[in-house]
Structure 1
Amino acid sequence: MKKLIIKSLALLLFACTSNTYSQTLISYKDPNIHYMGRVGMKDDAAELTWSASSVVINFSGTGAKATLKDDSGFDLITVVVDDKVVTAIQPTVDKKEYALVSGLPAGPHKLELFKRTEYDMGKLFFYSFDIAGKLLPPPVYKHRMEFYGNSITCGYAIEDKEGKDRGTYQFVNAYKSYANLTARHLNADYNSISKSGIGITISWFNYVMPDIYNRLAAKDPKVLWDFSKYTPEVVVVNLFQNDSWLVKNFEHEQFKARFGTTAPTPEFIIKSYQNFISKIRAEYPKAKIICALGSMDATKDGAPWPGYIEKAVARLKDKGIYTHFFPYKNTPGHPNEKEQQVMANELIGFIEKKMKW
């Protein structure tokens, strides 16, 4: 009986100790942290600005916390554990520690902090993880992609369940956009250089994608992105929706600033698109480039915009550049969650066929 009791106590002790992990503080500089997207490294923190940028680790343990700060208090961060969304947090302007997940089964896990809001909604500072366990080597992705897009790519209004098509920080969610859905399905690391309202020839504000595509942070013209740091296999450009709304909006201040009183000609539009794609090609000589458009009214029947893109691509005479147009969804507002998934399914099929992934 005594031996049985001792054996039982020993088993209990083993069970307790095998499931107990010491706390481990992980600095933002740790090489086992994987940063997705264009992320700046400051003196004491990693700086996440672009939509869909993220911090990813593998660890063995049962829980994790993170020390964060936001410059606006309006950023929303999706917490993803083992490829499943567990919660969302809204960091304040004060530096503080946030509980991310606890009570996980003992063992290896993948953890991601995903910035789902746009760069003009906030700048996130990531300082450290505090994990109940130990850090493991970072995740390895099978492919690399890059997206250049507008509100569709940013996931504008996806969380507006009332159908009012609102795009403030509460309703934007890049995690549910076709770009993120596509990249995750294909096991791809990716950058998203996207902004609601942006165009190639004109935007709803005073800059266009060719002005910011090569920046580390969109709002800082002094620090350019080092394209040698990240080389995608596939680049997806989904732009022209905002151009389609504005190139004949004679009363809009940006129309007057860019075009005066005369709408741009088709030749000007085609040449502008051609020039932008040429810039992307110059940075990535071996990448496949998909010139996409849709799924809003720029691709409805009779719209000239797919034709403009086709002409620009034909002029480039580059066998590594393709076109792919998402069918017009023919519903009000921006693509909802289901419509984003439809776009993702189409793009996944197109890439798998062209790239043989």
Structure 2
Amino acid sequence: MTKYSFYFIALLSFIVQSCAAAPLRKVSCKDPSVQYMGRIKHEDSSATFYWSGTSATMRFTGSTIAVDLRDEKGTNYYYGIVDDSVYTKIKADTIRQSYTIADHLKKGVMHKVQVFKLTEESAGKSWLYGFETDGSTISLLDKVRKKIEFYGNSITAGYSVDDTVRDTGLPEYFNNYYTYAAMTARHYDAEYYNISKSGVGLMLSWFPVIMPELYDRLDPLDSIHKWNFHSYVPDLVVIDLFQNDSWLITKVNHPQFKNRFGTTPPDSTYIVNAYKQFVTTIRNTYPDASIVCTLGSMDATKDGSPWPGYVRAAVCQLHDRKVYSHIFAYKNATGHPKRKDQQKMAESLIQFIDANVQW
């Protein structure tokens, strides 16, 4: 080997070492630069995500950003979003690991990363331990933002939003990010909380728990530990329920029908009063919030359905000037709303809010 060959190899080695990626700095889930939306259980080493639409956001100046996650079942999906653009879709594993969201970002400028849960509680819970970046985090005081909370069923949760062939409800086809609820919240740059579950009803669900028994939980599967309603007080609450009730009320042999009503279906007075009672519960929880009672866009709103009338009657009888009704147009197709359907719902709701709601 000549001395020139030696110098060349040494120079090449120096270049490789110089270009090697700098080790990523860990940012704890408890770091003040990490901000959360959704009902989350905060512990020393992790933040537990349950509900669809739950997210963690951080500002940083690095070129690389990753998230440290572990999943209960390996069936939860997340979006990794940088500067308000979706960069990657993450399938969380049951083994704790780091997932790169983006690299080769422009270094030295402020970026924003968000990890957004697409799937609902049926896919299990996840633990977020923090972020990893080669740059610095930036703690900024957010401007005062509107706050919106949604209570709903599969439509609001994001069931089959991305299943354009069938309507299976498999976790990979859940996408809360493209629900009317999340799109409406983004339109107003609002803090977003989503309390929704596929199959849930106000009087009847496809399982034993109904929304009036679920609405106040931190963990959807835990009836003991309740959510602290003082920690998040929305300016606007949107309720989209009754789709599952409209199906189950005719299934007199279904176990949940028998459990709730025996053999006699509830009449219209009972149905309207049940809705009024739930809205009253929300009103008592949030005395100053505006409340929009919606329904749709599945077959509970098709021509001839009595269910929109039940919602309107309940709202009318409450005599509350800050409670409104808004019925989504029937999408006139089988299955759950897809992205384009959810977009139409968002546009409809935004138009209604802008024209009618003071919040």
Q: TM-score of the superposition, structure 2-length normalised? A: 0.91
How do residues 114-153 of structure 1 correspond to structure 2 at under 5 angstroms?
114-138=116-140, 139-140=142-143, 142-153=145-156
Question: Structure 1: 5+ residue runs without aligned partners?
Answer: 1-16
Contact residue 70 and residue 93 of structure 2 kept, 8 A: yes
How do residues 164-243 of structure 1 correspond to structure 2 at under 5 angstroms?
164-243=166-245
How do residues 1-357 of structure 1 correspond to structure 2 at under 5 angstroms?
23-106=24-107, 107-138=109-140, 139-140=142-143, 142-162=145-165, 164-355=166-357
The whole-number CA distance in structure 2 between the counterparts of 1:347 and 1:141 is: 22
Change (3 A) 1:21 1:355: farther
The whole-number CA distance in structure 1 between the counterparts of 2:214 and 2:136 is: 39
The whole-number CA distance in structure 2 between the counterparts of 1:100 and 1:85 is: 9
Contact residue 71 and residue 123 of structure 1 kept, 8 A: yes
Alignment coverage as a number of residue pairs: 338
Contact residue 33 and residue 138 of structure 2 kept, 8 A: yes
- What is residue 6 of structure 2 aligned with on the other side? none
Change (3 A) 1:113 1:220: same
Contact residue 65 and residue 130 of structure 1 kept, 8 A: yes
Q: Deviation per CA, 1:74-105, whole angstroms, max 9, x where unpaired?
A: 00011111111111111111111111111111
- What is residue 9 of structure 1 aligned with on the other side? none
Higher mean C-alpha deviation, range 144-153 or range 37-46: 37-46
1:22: how far off?
7.1
Contact residue 21 and residue 61 of structure 1 kept, 8 A: no
1:67: how far off?
1.3
The whole-number CA distance in structure 2 between the counterparts of 1:155 and 1:23 is: 34
1:26: how far off?
1.0
1:142: how far off?
2.6
Q: Deviation per CA, 1:164-188, whole angstroms, max 9, x where unpaired?
A: 1110211111111110111111101
- What is residue 5 of structure 2 aligned with on the other side? none
1:23: how far off?
3.6
Contact residue 141 and residue 189 of structure 1 kept, 8 A: no
Change (3 A) 1:316 1:356: closer
Residue identity over aligned pairs, in percent, reads 43
Contact residue 28 and residue 45 of structure 2 kept, 8 A: no
1:28: how far off?
0.6
- What is residue 13 of structure 2 aligned with on the other side? none
* Partner amino acid, structure 2, of 1:218: P
* Partner amino acid, structure 2, of 1:67: D
Contact residue 153 and residue 179 of structure 1 kept, 8 A: yes
1:223: how far off?
0.9
Which runs of structure 1 show a deviation greater than 3 angstroms over 4 or more consecutive aligned residues?
A: 20-23, 138-141
- What is residue 8 of structure 2 aligned with on the other side? none
Change (3 A) 1:239 1:216: same
1:137: how far off?
2.1
* Partner amino acid, structure 2, of 1:215: R
Q: Secondary structure at the match of 1:57?
A: strand
Q: TM-score of the superposition, structure 1-length normalised? A: 0.92
Change (3 A) 1:57 1:349: same
